[in-house]
Amino acid sequence: MSADAWWRNGIVYQIYPRSFQDSDGDGIGDLRGIRERLDYLVGLGIDAVWISPIYPSPMADFGYDIADYEAIDPRFGSLADFDALVAQAKARGLKLILDYVPNHTSDRHPWFLESRSSRSDPKRDWYLWRDPAPDGGPPNNWLSNFGGPAWTLDEATGQYYCHSFLKEQPDLNWRNSEVRAAMYEVLRFWLRRGVDGFRVDVLYHLIKDDQFRDNPVNPAYQPGEDESHRLLPLYTTDRPEMQPLVAEMRRVVDAFSDTDSSRVLIGELYLPLDRLVAYYGRNAEGVLQGVQLPFNFQLIAAHWQAAEIGRIVRDYEAALPAGAAPNWVLGNHDKPRIASRIGEPRARLAALLLLSLRGTPTLYYGDEIGMTDVPIPPDEVQDPFEKNQPGKGLGRDPQRTPMQWSGEAGAGFTAGRPWLRLAADFTHRNVAAQQADPASILRLYQRLIALRRREPALHEGHYEALEAGTDVLAYARVQDDRRLVVLMNFGTAAAPIPAQLLPAGATVLLSTRTEDAAPVAPGFTLQPLEGVILG
């Protein structure tokens, strides 16, 4: 793979640092812990690690509220630990991607402390301050994504500030050129330290309507749902001014790319397909000047059904601008885990899908061992989303529990008391047990990743949809004269495969059920919930 293309073909692995590996017994994962586990990641076969925020933070939103963009929170270690991690990752050929949180800072960030100190402070305009409405209430109807209004009154200066998330996360004013300059310096700070790119938090939120118009009511809102869905985010997200802004951000990062290293921007964008692909930033000359990878979350929302998944893949392929790099995601720290959404047998199919589709796959830590959401009793809840709107199933603690490395006390994650409880099944569902079991989902992930690396058709070939009956998702991945056929039986009955789909002389390169390659002959039948790659 050439240097400029690693993010097209590579595999990204998301680490939630609090929960990956604790090295000092305080029950919270840290950078040294990640370093200790790099060889595991190499063995798994991934190319790049994305680490959720590790910067100094009051942890109101577990690191997504940043008080200093250019340092490491002592809970996670020091800048020296970070530099050591970069060096050790590089020595193993792994890329390192940091989380970049541009929409908001912590309310303890010195910029916000200055900004709120007086109406005439030079940094007043770095955040979004507005006078109260005539009745003294918030300036408009905007809602916080975590529940309640997006505005909090600062008594001392008599104005409201805007926060798309918690009141402890005031939104920066990206229309202000000093803010942009300061935030681009943050990118340069980490690029100089050797990072290979950034996952950009809620990218589509950065610019809000300059007239602060009310958002329209969402006619589809159902009582009991997440409160923030009461309104459509028309004036608060995906504004037209976003496109030149993303292009500007891309130029900052591109300045650090050369033939040895290509730096990447991955955008967190929960948007409909036509708006999502706009973030590739295709200009009039056809040049893509936006983020290289607008995160494609469609598999997270999908019904696990062959026809629906087939349609999602076809529509996505059709919507991509020329030259754009596709990508796929099964889960992250904000969404219920794949194994809980669809069950382990189907999660094995999901692994096959993720690693055989055209596009950069992102894995969420622990999904490779089939970790499931862990029910958190009310008195142990940590996530502010759950605390603000209890009982609606919005809490994200269940998918953030410690990595299950072994069956020992602390699951090999910590020698202390884990910050969030372990899954009850960690004694048997863990890395050590699954390494020893050829039939485990971990070994399936390893086989899939190895095959994907070995077969150019899988990591860079084109995608061709095939027809194989209602319950079977079928497609080919083709590169020159190499043609691999992927078949997935989403149904619970055996599925005979039409003979014309079977490549002549092919063998089963991989099955989600067994390690033994069988001959492919007329009458070839998939077992219930079996997926195969033939070639």
Would you count residue 334 as binding ligand GLC (CB under 6 A)?
yes
Identify whether the C-beta of residue 318 lies closer than 8 Å to the C-beta of residue 465.
Answer: no
- Cα–Cα distance between 367 and 357 in angstroms, integer? 18
Q: Which is nearer to ligand GLC, 55 or 165 (CB)?
A: 165
By beta-carbon distance, which residue lies closest to ligand GLC?
64
295 binds ligand GLC (CB under 6 A): no
The tokens for 112 are 């916000």
Q: Closer CB to ligand GLC, residue 168 or residue 455?
A: 168
Please select the residue that binds ligand GLC; options are 46, 66, 86, 202, rule is CB under 6 A.
Answer: 202
Is 516 one of the annotated active-site residues of the chain?
no
Residue 201 contacts ligand GLC per CB under 6 A:
yes
In the list 7, 16, 64, 82, the residue contacting ligand GLC (rule: CB under 6 A) is 64
Per CB under 6 A, 420 contacts ligand GLC: no
For 281, which DSSP code? Answer: -
Give whichever of 22 and 201 is closer to ligand GLC, judged by the CB atom.
201
Q: Examine the residue annotation and report whether 99 is marked as an active-site residue of this protein.
A: yes
- C-alpha 381/C-alpha 216 separation (Å) is 33
Rounded CA separation 456/454 (Å):
6
C-alpha radius of gyration, the chain, whole number: 24
CB of 64 to ligand GLC, least distance (A): 3
Is 61 among the residues that bind ligand GLC (CB under 6 A)?
yes
Given a contact cutoff of 8 angstroms between Cβ atoms, the answer to whether 323 and 280 are in contact is no
Sign of CA pseudo-dihedral 485, 486, 489, 490: negative
Shortest gap between Cβ of 145 and ligand GLC (angstroms)?
7
| Exposure on the CB side of residue 339, measured as CA atoms within 13 A | 20
Q: Which of 104, 163, 205, 333 is catalytic?
A: 333
Angle 329-334-336 (CA atoms, 0-180°, nearest 5)?
A: 75
- Least separation in angstroms between residue 495's CB and ligand GLC is 37
Q: Is 386 in the site for ligand GLC (CB under 6 A)?
A: no
Contact 101, 107 (CB under 8 A): no
Annotation says 81 is catalytic: no
329 binds ligand GLC (CB under 6 A): no
d(CA 246, CA 443): 39
Minimum CB separation from ligand GLC for residue 312, in Å? 22
DSSP state of 304: S
φ, ψ for residue 357 (rounded to 5)? -75, 165
Residues 87-116, one symbol each (x = binds ligand GLC by CB under 6 A, - = not), give --------------x---------------
The catalytically annotated residue of 22, 171, 196, 201 is 201
Q: Is 333 a catalytic residue?
A: yes
Pick the catalytic residue from 99, 238, 397, 471. 99
Cα dist from 175 to 84, 193, 199, 281, 370, whole Å:
36, 28, 21, 19, 43
At residue 521's C-alpha, the angle toward residues 519 and 526, to 5°, is: 80
Q: How far is the CB of 251 from ligand GLC (least distance, A)?
A: 24
The pair of structure tokens assigned to 120 is 């005439």
Q: Is position 226 an interface residue for ligand GLC (rule: CB under 6 A)?
A: no
* Residue 141 or 332 with smaller CB distance to ligand GLC: 332
Q: How far is the CB of 533 from ligand GLC (least distance, A)?
A: 32
201 is catalytic: yes
Dist. CA 59–CA 229, nearest whole Å:
25
Residues in binding contact with ligand GLC, number by CB under 6 A: 9
**Residue 40 phi/psi, 5° resolution?**
-60, -45
| Catalytic-role residue among 22, 107, 171, 268 | 268
H or E, element range at 486: strand 482-489
Residue 373 binds ligand GLC (CB under 6 A): no
Residues numbered 160 to 189 that lie near ligand GLC (CB under 6 A) are 165
**From CA 408, how far away is CA 303, in angstroms rounded?**
36
**Residues near ligand GLC (CB under 6 A):** 61, 64, 101, 165, 201-202, 268, 333-334
What residues act catalytically?
99, 201, 268, 333-334
